[in-house]
Amino acid sequence: MVKIVHAQTVLPEDVLNELKKKTGESATKDAIAKAVEHYLMCPYTHEEPIEKKLEEVLKKKRKI
């Protein structure tokens, strides 16, 4: 049996509207649920940001 909890957050209206647009959902709770599910399932969310990787490459080149 899955335990369900109620979670809240504060978002700017334009951010919420963009989230609804990107998820294709009109209801706030559905858009947030879809975004959270995507974040948890997407293999790219747990990788280092590209900026950090580039910074490390540049540091290595400067040392040479």
Predicted confidence (pLDDT) per residue in 28-46, tens digit: 999 999 999 998 998 777 7
Full domain range(s) for residue 52: 13-63
Model confidence pTM above 0.85: no
Apex CA 49: angle with CA 47 and CA 52, to 5°? 120
Q: Is the pLDDT of residue 60 over 90?
A: no
Q: Is the pLDDT of residue 61 over 70?
A: yes
Q: Quick one: pLDDT at residue 3?
A: 94
| Count of structural domains, the chain | 1
In a domain? residue 24: yes
Q: In the chain, which ranges are continuous DSSP H helix?
A: 13-23, 28-41, 50-63
In a domain? residue 5: no
Q: Band of the pLDDT at 64, cuts 50, 70, 90? A: low
Q: Quick one: pLDDT at residue 15?
A: 96
In a domain? residue 47: yes
